[in-house]
Structure 1
Amino acid sequence: MSATSVLNHINNEKYNIYPIGITKEGKWFLYKGEYENIASGQWEQDNENKVSNGLEVLVDKKVEVVFPVLHGMYGEDGTIQGLCKLMNIPCVGPSVMSSAVCMDKIYTKYLLEHGNIKQAKYVVVTTFDYKKDSSVFVKAIEENLGYPCFVKPANSGSSVGITKAHNREELVKGLELALNHDRKVLVEEGLNAREIEVSVLGNDDPKASIPGEIIPAKEFYDYEAKYQNAASKLLIPAALPEEKLSIIRDLAVKIYKKLDCSGMARVDFLVDKDTEEVYLNEVNTIPGFTSISMYPKMWEATGLSYPALIDELIELAIERNNS
């Protein structure tokens, strides 16, 4: 859906577009069909331009810029970025290192702890240690975090594999689910908080958008709420005092720079409903780009249209590659 939205908003008179899709099985396609079939998944069935194991050529032309719209592993974890780097092709979004660090929620926390960035308390669980004695981790989580708590695969996108546990039974189920997605799991205390997001854009001198607020239709903003459930509300600007909004914007830029991001990222915060303390939630280096996604919507509210945003991202990728 994000890819379809980008294709529908990019200036086709300014750019020659070559949509390339990658299936879960690792097959690459040069897609020449209708863009709407990408969103529905039909593109995989009606496409004959298939490449496997890198034995054929998809595009026999010089590629000026790659715009990755790939959420999760092998998309925003530095792998595609590294491939582009090896070929000296500008790639929209952060570098290999920054992408990899931001993808790993645990390492993001480790790095930002040294930057005095307030974050929710957490416990790290690995497959190897959990299999040796799961009760040790359950006890540590209950004693240090309590309920409710969030169970997250360390490396996943779009809230895939994330659950909220209110008791031991839900915690164990959540850990088993998360460990099916990743060998490392992050368990965080469940703050009574509002979900505030900021779009950041730029290289060495980044700028932040007007912050927005997510009011999920469900208990938290999971995959279904992000991409399938239109009942969730998006408020732009977030209903916070101007002073607090300014603090959050400045903090988003600070975090962006500490993680050496470039091009773009969406920085997500939690604002405690009782104390109004601001906590970092996570940093997304390839945020959603659908018609209901916060990253483009917050820039539109700040005065930057979707097509102009795409132009800016492409220019930033070229600028960074040439620097």
Structure 2
Amino acid sequence: MKRKVGLVYGGKSAEHNVSLQTALAVINALDMNKFDIHPIYIKENGEWVRGAALTEPVEALHSLKLEKAGSTISPVSLNTELFPTNSEEQESLDVIFPLLHGPNGEDGTIQGLLELVNIPYVGNGVLASAAGMDKVIMKNLFAQDGLAQAKYVHFIKSDYEKSTEEALQSVEENLGYPCFVKPANLGSSVGISKCANREELVEAINVAFEYDRKVIVEEGIVGREIEIAVIGNDDPICSVVGEIAPKKAFYDYKAKYEDGDTDLIIPGHVTETEYEMIKEMAIKAFKAIDGSGLVRADFFLTEDGKALINEVNTMPGFTPFSMFPLMWKHTGLEYAKLIEKLVDLAIERFEQKQKIKYTF
């Protein structure tokens, strides 16, 4: 019997358009002989719209916006066993695949909602999603587990405005130039700047604060950008590594999603010793945030063979340019099979949780 999969995409986030690209790729990869695909679009204002089950692939990105082809719903209607509805279109779903990036999707918020309505969902839980979204919390957890990483400082907007000079001196004394300024709770290289002097640093911090109340500044590392994909629950496994070779100063939003102006080398050129080190660190990072389902772990590999973990992404993109599915493809797991595996992992985790005793 077919599984009814709800694909939730869009979202009230600066990464709304990235999510649409991910959704388009996933929809067109799913085997419609195995799955009934139910599109659920979250508008930029936060309104939820559910469309009819898809009967064929989707060709145009704008078709996913469901402006006239869906009905506005309450998110709780995703589980009609708990919240009955008379609408035939609102039948219960077997599993939800959140294809959301950034705040209000990748940060534990929708995961908390899905926990409350007691429905299986693909990917990381509330804690891992929240920790993986907040780069400061994530790096603090990595430090706690002894994972090697670049030096960093961070501050919230109100503190920065009260003590601007002190904050700038902290960056210069602890990190120096070049350095990278990032919103703490955003991904897809949105709001990230590389700085070579104080003037650029001040401008970059102001840009980052447009996207978040918390900013992190990291030291510039000279090294190759290496990524590895992880899937699993209690016993995660890793793909081959991939290498990002941007033709620009760094791997920015445009290079990732628009012009493809980046060389993606898969498998990346690493020694067996380097691979085993990166794999071990990736699994350790996965467990440090209590991950489940999937993460993409990003590293810097220095000339002397030292690996520094940069971050984990708990909901990596599935666009045609995305590293996560490409690395698994080169490992022997094709895109469609990868999605099926992630759905299986979601069901597995859900069934485990149903065995937990909630009364005393």
What TM-score bracket applies, with the shorter chain setting the length? over 0.9
Match of 1:2 among 22, 25, 41: 22
Q: Is the 8 A contact 2:51 2:66 kept in 1?
A: no
Larger % of strand: which? 2
Equivalent residue number for residue 22 of structure 1? 42
Following superposition of structure 1 onto structure 2, how do residues 66-105 of structure 1 map, counting pairs within 5 Å?
66-105=96-135
Change (3 A) 1:97 1:54: closer
Residue in 1 that maps onto 2:6: none
User: For residues 205 and 55 of structure 1, what CA distance do their matches in structure 2 show?
Assistant: 31
Within 1, Cα distance between the matches of 2:223 and 2:137?
A: 23
1:233 Cα shift? 0.6
For residue 21 of structure 1, report the CA deviation from its aligned partner.
1.1
Other structure's SS at 2:49 match: strand
1:217 to partner: Cα distance: 2.2
Q: Distance in 1 between matches of 2:310 and 2:216?
A: 12
- Aligned AA (2:332): G
Aligned residue runs from structure 1 range 67-216, under 5 A: 67-216=97-246
Give, in angstroms, the shift of residue 46 of structure 1. Answer: 4.8
Tell me how many residue pairs correspond in the alignment.
Answer: 320
Q: Is the 8 A contact 2:76 2:117 kept in 1?
A: no
Shift of 1:44: 3.0
In the TM superposition, residue 157 of structure 1 has moved relative to its aligned partner by 1.7
Alignment pair present for 1:292 and 2:313: no
Q: Provide the aligned C-alpha RMSD in A.
A: 1.7
Aligned AA for 1:2? T
The one-letter code of the counterpart of 1:88 is: N
Higher alpha-carbon deviation: 217-226 or 192-201: 217-226
Q: Taking CA–CA contacts closer than 8 Å with sequence separation of 6 or more, which of the two structures ends up with the larger relative contact order?
A: 1
> What residue in structure 1 maps to residue 256 of structure 2?
226
Q: Give 1:47's aligned residue.
A: 68
Inter-partner Cα distance in structure 2 for 1:123 and 1:255: 20
Distance, in Å, in 1 between the alignment partners of 2:252 and 2:120 is 32
Match of 2:31 in 1: 11
Distance in structure 2 (CA, Å) of the matches to 1:238 and 1:267 = 14
Counterpart-to-counterpart distance in 2, 1:132 and 1:21: 40
Q: CA deviation at 1:60?
A: 1.6
CA distance in 1: counterparts of 2:152 and 2:205, whole angstroms: 14
Q: Counterpart amino acid of 2:350? A: N
Q: Distance in 1 between matches of 2:25 and 2:51?
A: 15
Do 1:256 and 1:265's aligned partners in 2 also have CA atoms closer than 8 Å?
yes
Flag as ranges the 4+ runs of structure 1 deviating above 4 A: 52-59
> Please, what TM-score do these two structures have when normalized by structure 1?
0.95
Structure 1 runs not aligned, ≥5 long: none
Q: CA deviation at 1:106?
A: 0.1
Question: What is the Cα deviation at residue 36 of structure 1?
Answer: 2.8
- Share of identical aligned residues, percent? 46
> What CA deviation, in whole Å up to 9, does each residue of 1:104-132 have, x standing for no partner?
00001111111110110011121011111
Contact 2:182 2:217 in 1 (8 A): yes
User: 1:281 and 1:245 mapped to 2: Cα distance?
Assistant: 16
For the residues of structure 2 that align with 1:201 and 1:175, how far apart are their CA atoms?
Answer: 34
